[in-house]
């Protein structure tokens, strides 16, 4: 389904004096046929303005782009009764040698038992293959548990399934931002309590290329502190790392989120296909004892 946003300049005049001006402001809209009066009302609701006397719009432009969660904007449409649930893949496809994180090796695929060799073990016409994978645990789309950062933190076997599965989703869209660091204001209009907060940066378009690890978007320390205080259940990003990659540097977001028991999912993809709210995330790793990170087949259900 095509979603729309509107871009405009505006002069806001207050009934008790004073005013406010915005340039190239953008809001979610329910369709491409909204009136100026409807846009003005959406602006007032989004900013929570009181005692507005008049809103004068200029340069109104309708854009076909995903919603970003404007406050008071269009809610996600209710699914018709009996409508099937849609499944959306949120994980990268893995293949021989594909590099996920700069400096870490890609997976190596081989046969533990080839089809040809299996023929001697079974009746004529019956054959199987048993594959073998050699890879680091930080491969493809994966979940970090607290044990990834802290030796005494829960590992993948200790975290309950409820921390990865069937979580309500809220998508923070920051595509097109001029800033790499995603700060707390990106989440100000969103209710993140008890939700999987997924950061849609659009950086997944570089996955598998050298550009993926260069100047990538990341979450700031202040944003991590905000998400912890606001009660986020899980935080994911479609970028190379949820922290800024600084050689021999700190990883404050990993440290804060994992220290608070909040799992992290990195290297997501396909977040442009999710609504801002309404989807449910499943991103459960294998239940390994003694591992802090492992690959997942992350996906979302949209009613």
- Give the phi and the psi of residue 187 in degrees, each rounded to 5: -110, 0
Residue spans per domain, the chain: 4-64, 142-302
Strands 4-14 and 52-64: antiparallel
pLDDT of residue 247: 87
- The residues facing 133 across adjacent strands are 109
Per-residue pLDDT of the chain (303 residues; tens, 9 = 90+): 789 999 999 999 987 789 999 999 999 999 999 999 899 989 988 888 877 888 999 999 999 998 888 887 776 555 666 667 899 999 999 999 999 999 999 999 999 999 999 999 999 999 999 999 999 999 999 999 999 999 999 999 999 999 999 999 999 999 888 889 999 888 877 899 999 999 999 999 999 999 999 999 999 999 999 999 999 999 999 999 999 999 888 999 999 999 999 999 999 999 999 999 999 999 999 999 999 999 999 999 998
Question: Which residues are within 8 A (CB) of 183 and not within 5 positions of it... i.e. 6 or more apart?
Answer: 220, 222, 223
CA distance 241 to 199: 11
* DSSP annotation string for the chain: ---EEEEEEEEEEETTS-EEEEEEEEEEESSTT--HHHHHHHHHHHHT--SEEEEEEEEEEEEE------TTSPPPPPPPTTPPPEEEE-SPPP-TT--SSTTSPPPEEEEEE-HHHHTTTS-TT----EEEEE--SS-SSEEE-GGGT-TTS--TTTS-GGGTEEEEEEEEE-TT-S-SEE-GGGGTTS--TTSEEEEE-SGGGGTTSGGGGSS--EE-HHHHHHHHHHT-SEEEESSS-SS---TT---HHHHHHHHTT--EEES---GGGS-SEEEEEE-PPP--TT-SEEE---EEEE-
- The residues facing 265 across adjacent strands are 143, 236
pLDDT of residue 110: 97
pLDDT of residue 14: 85
CA distance 201 to 181: 11
**Distance from CA of residue 274 to its chain's centroid?**
9
CA distance 260 to 181: 21
Name the strands in the sheet holding 293-295, side by side, starting at the edge strand that comes first in the sequence.
86-89, 299-302, 277-282, 165-173, 196-200, 234-237, 264-266, 142-144, 293-295
Please choose, from the candidates 221, 180, 229, the residue with its C-alpha nearest in 3D space to the C-alpha of residue 202. Answer: 180
Q: What is the pTM of this model?
A: 0.83
> What CATH number does domain 142-302 carry, 3.30.750.210, 3.40.50.1970, 3.50.30.50, 3.40.50.150?
3.50.30.50
Q: How far is CA 194 from CA 231, 301, 303, in A?
A: 6, 17, 19
Could you identify the residue written with the tokens 């700031």? 220
- Report the Cα–Cα distance between both ends of the chain, in Å, rounded: 13
């Amino acid at each position: 389904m095509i979603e729309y946003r509107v871009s405009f300049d505006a002069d806001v005049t207050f009934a008790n004096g004073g005013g406010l001006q915005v340039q190239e402001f953008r809001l979610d809209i329910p369709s491409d046929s909204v009136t100026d009066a409807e846009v003005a009302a959406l602006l007032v609701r989004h900013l929570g303005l009181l005692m507005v006397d008049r809103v004068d719009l200029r340069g109104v432009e309708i854009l076909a782009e995903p919603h970003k969660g404007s406050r008071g904007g269009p809610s996600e449409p209710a699914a018709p009764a009996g409508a099937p649930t849609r499944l959306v893949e949120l994980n990268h496809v893995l293949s021989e040698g594909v590099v996920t994180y700069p400096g870490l090796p890609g997976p190596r695929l081989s046969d533990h038992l080839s089809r040809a060799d299996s023929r001697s073990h079974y009746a004529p016409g019956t054959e199987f293959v048993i594959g073998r994978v050699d890879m680091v645990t930080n491969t493809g789309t994966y979940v970090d548990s607290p044990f990834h950062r802290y030796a005494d933190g829960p590992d993948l076997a200790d975290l309950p399934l409820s921390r990865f599965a069937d979580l309500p989703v809220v998508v923070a869209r920051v595509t097109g931002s001029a800033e790499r660091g995603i700060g707390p204001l990106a989440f100000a209009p969103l209710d993140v309590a008890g939700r999987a907060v997924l950061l849609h940066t659009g950086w997944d378009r570089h996955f598998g290329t050298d550009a993926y690890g260069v100047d990538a978007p990341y979450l700031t320390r202040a944003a991590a502190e905000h998400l912890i205080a606001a009660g986020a259940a899980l935080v994911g990003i479609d970028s190379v790392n949820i922290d800024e990659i600084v050689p021999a540097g700190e990883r404050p977001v990993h440290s804060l989120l994992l220290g608070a028991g909040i799992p992290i999912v990195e290297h997501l993809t396909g977040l442009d296909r999710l609504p801002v709210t309404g989807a449910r995330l499943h991103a459960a790793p294998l239940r390994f004892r003694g591992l802090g990170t492992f690959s997942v087949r992350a996906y979302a259900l949209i009613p």
